[in-house]
Chain A
């Protein structure tokens, strides 16, 4: 069965500092990988996804994530964070060709950016 582990429940950082939010998954098959973001009092939004091809994927607001098959990881990084990046970030997987397409989520990491 698939599972997702987000090792850090909370990550406090100062503005303009780099950040890495860790995500590891376990699956016996190949997977699609996603990062969703939930800003305060808002719904979940897709941040970026890996389906195939280049293992490095980027979002429009400067985040990037790299799929590492050998380490079964999909860590999210940003070289310089802003106050507006304060949110909860969820890593998720789904199974290509799966009958449902439902997402398996990690427990989330709360990123708190301080001035």
Chain B
């Protein structure tokens, strides 16, 4: 079956511009996560969605970052007024539900470069 897909695969933008990153989770997965993978920093948790519940935004680094999930499926991560330090690979993952024992399936990521 289809895995987690993300688009675009690469995004180059200028400092100060807004960007939107999209994630399509595996069908039937109710939990969705966004992570950021920065060079030398490993993977950093950003935000978590579970079904129709309010998202847990505790990992978002600043108020320039926001995310939504429409219809309990597709999610969009928006970064406003991008800065050079936002350059990273943004990964989306989904799992069957929020149980921490559940395997998270990762998408290929979106590589964001802010010039």
Contacts and interface: CB of A to CB of B under 8 A. Distances in A.
Interface of A: 32, 36, 42-46, 49, 51, 90, 92, 94-108
Contacts of A108: 42-43
Contact of A103 (B41, B99, B104): B104
**Interface size class for chain B?**
20 to 34
Interface in B71-115: 91, 93, 95, 98-104, 106-109
B103 A49 contact: yes
A106 B37 CA distance: 11
B33 interface: yes
A42 B108 contact: yes
A102 B41 contact: no
Interface of B: 3-4, 31, 33, 35, 40-45, 48, 56, 59, 91, 93, 95, 98-104, 106-109
Nearest to B104: A103
A95 to B, nearest CB: 6
13 contacts: A44-B91, A90-B42, A90-B43, A94-B100, A94-B101, A96-B100, A101-B95, A101-B98, A102-B48, A103-B33, A105-B35, A105-B42, A107-B42
A84 B95 CA distance: 27
Nearest to B40: A107
